[in-house]
Amino acid sequence: MSHELVPHLFRTEFSKITAVISKFLGLEHLEVAEDIASDTFVVALETWPFQGIPENPTAWLYTVAKNKAKNYINRHYLFTGKIAPQVKSTCPNVPEIEIDLSAQNITDSQLQMLFAVCHPAIASEAQIGLALRILGGFGIDEIANAFLTNKETINKRLFRAKEKLRQEKVQLEFPPSTEIDKRLETVLTTLYLLYNEGYYSESRDAVLREDLCLEAMRLTYLLLQNEKTNLPPVNALLSLMCFHASRFPARKDANGQLVLYHDQDETLWNRELITKGIYYLQLAAQGNKISKYHLEASIAYWHTQKADTPEKWENILQLYNKLLVLEYSPVAALNRTYALAKANGKQEAIIQAEKLQLTHNHYYHTLLGELYENLDNNKAMACYETAFTLAKTQPDKQIIQKKIDRLKT
C-alpha cells in the first residue's frame, strides 16, 4: 500500500513543503528546500513498509519536513531577521524555530512561488520546467519527456533558471499592486503553455498528457483562491482549460490513438466540466478588458456544441477574427481557415489558407488536403503526402495515413 501512497503524496505534497521551506529560508536556498522535501519522502519509503502507514500520513510528512528544516538551520547557523535577529554568530544556542505549514501559508507560499518561477528574467521553457518541478513535483525524466529532450538538458536548464533567480534576488512574495497585472501576464502565459504541452502532446508515446493539463488547471485555480489574482483573465483561462478538458475521454480511442473532433463520441464529454467552463467564463465577463483567453475560451465553448450549425461556425469565425486582431499567431490563423471553410465554403478557405504559406507546418498541409478533397483529389493527395513527411510524431502520421488511405479507395 505504501508503495502506491508515497508517489501520490509526493505529487500533492512535495510542492507544498518546498514552497513553505523556500519561503522560510529564502529563495536563494531553493535547492536546500527541494532536498529537504525529497528526503522527507525517502524517510517515508524507508519506514512505512515496516512500521505501517501513519494515521495521518500528510501530517507525518509535515512533521518530518519541519524537523529536517530545523536540523539544517541548526547545522548551518542560518539566522536571518525572521529567525534570530539578535543572535551572534558565535552563539551555540539556537532559538525555537516554527515553520508554518498551515493551509493558508501553504497556499500563499505556492502562489508566491508561482510568481517567482514565472519571473520575466527567466526563459519561458525554463519557467514551465521550474513550475513542473517545484510546484508540480514532476521528476526530471517526466519533464524531459514533456519537452522531448534528455535529463541533462533539463538539469542544465533548471540550474540556469535557479541561478537567474539568485542573480535577480527574486523574493517569495506577492508583486506590488502596481505590478500585479504585468507580472500576472507572464504567469498566465506560462500556465497556458504548460496546458498546451499536455493538450497538444508531441510525446512519442502519448497524444495527450493529462497530468500536465491537470497541473496547469490546479495552478490556475490557485490564482483564483487569492483576491489579488482572482481576475477576469484568470477566470477566462480556467474556463478555456475546462472546456478542453471536458473532451479528454473522447479524444483517445481504446488503442490510445488520437480521435479528431468530428469523430468524437459526444456522450463521452464531461458535462460537469463544461458547466464549470461556462461558470468561469461568466465570471470572466466582469470589467471592460478582453484578453486572448476570453476569446479562446469562447471558441472552446462553441466546440462543446457538437451540432454543425451555421450559427456555431459563424460565431467561431468571428471570434477568430477578433483574436487575430488582438494577438496574431499562425496557429490561430490556420484554425480560422478551418472555421471559414465550415462557415463560407471550401473555395474561399483555400484562397485564405494558401496565403498563410506555412510550408513547414504539417497541420497546414493536412488542412489543405482536407480543403481540396472532392475538389481536386490529386492536390489533396499531394498535400497529405507532404504533411506525412513533415509530421514528427507517430500519432500525427497515423492520422494522415488514414486520410491518404481514404483517398486511395
Q: What is the DSSP letter of 377?
A: H
Q: What is the DSSP letter of 211?
A: H
Q: How far apart are CA 191 and CA 188, in angstroms?
A: 5
Q: What is the pLDDT of residue 89?
A: 46
- Indicate the range of 105-109, 254-258, 283-287, 293-297 predicted with least confidence: 254-258
Q: How far apart are CA 123 and CA 159, in angstroms?
A: 12
Q: What is the pLDDT of residue 78?
A: 46
Q: Give the rounded distance of the alpha carbon of 354 from its chain centre.
A: 32
Helix or strand (DSSP H, E) at 11:
helix 2-25
Place 2 in a pLDDT band, splitting at 50, 70 and 90. Answer: low
**Amino acid identity for residue 402 in this structure:** K
Mean pLDDT over the full length of the chain: 89
Distances (CA, A) of 139 to 14, 35, 386: 11, 13, 36
> Per-residue pLDDT for 301 more than 70?
yes
Q: Residue 364: which residues within 8 A CB-CB, separation 6 or more?
A: 334, 353, 356, 358, 387
Q: How far apart are CA 409 and CA 398, in angstroms?
A: 17
Question: Reduced to 3 states, what is the DSSP secondary structure of residue 361?
Answer: coil
- Asked if residue 242 lies in contact with residue 211, where contact means CB atoms within 8 angstroms, the answer is no
Q: Give the rounded distance of the alpha carbon of 255 from its chain centre.
A: 25
Residue whose C-alpha cell is 497556499: 107
Q: What is the pLDDT of residue 202?
A: 63
**Helix, strand, coil shares of the chain as percentages rounded to 5?**
70, 0, 30
Q: Residue 197: which residues within 8 A CB-CB, separation 6 or more?
A: 128, 146, 147, 209, 212
Neighbours of 264 (CB within 10 A): 17
> Per-residue pLDDT for 260 more than 90?
no
Q: Is the dihedral of CA 246, 247, 250, 255 positive or negative?
A: negative
Q: What is the DSSP letter of 254?
A: T
Give per-residue pLDDT as tens, 123-158. 888 998 999 889 888 888 888 877 778 899 999 999
Q: Residue 283: which residues within 8 A CB-CB, separation 6 or more?
A: 232, 235
The CA-CA-CA angle for residues 350, 197, 146, to 5°, reads 130
Helix or strand (DSSP H, E) at 329:
none
**Amino acid identity for residue 225 in this structure:** Q
Q: How far apart are CA 99 and CA 105, in angstroms?
A: 10
> Per-residue pLDDT for 398 more than 60?
yes
Give per-residue pLDDT as tens, 192-245. 988 988 887 665 556 678 888 999 999 999 999 999 999 999 999 999 999 999
> Per-residue pLDDT for 87 more than 60?
no
Q: Residue 286: which residues within 8 A CB-CB, separation 6 or more?
A: 232
Question: Reduced to 3 states, what is the DSSP secondary structure of residue 252?
Answer: strand
Q: What is the pLDDT of residue 254?
A: 79
HSE of 159 in the Cβ direction (CA atoms, 13 Å)?
A: 6
Q: Specify the higher pLDDT residue, 242 or 180.
A: 242
Partners of 291 in the β-ladder: none
> Per-residue pLDDT for 383 more than 60?
yes
Average pLDDT over residues 392-406: 89
Average pLDDT over residues 172-197: 89
- Asked if residue 363 lies in contact with residue 202, where contact means CB atoms within 8 angstroms, the answer is no
Q: What is the pLDDT of residue 44?
A: 95
> Per-residue pLDDT for 372 more than 90?
yes
Average pLDDT over residues 88-116: 78
Q: How far apart are CA 69 and CA 94, in angstroms?
A: 13
Q: Residue 378: which residues within 8 A CB-CB, separation 6 or more?
A: none
> Per-residue pLDDT for 49 more than 80?
yes
Q: What is the pLDDT of residue 4?
A: 79
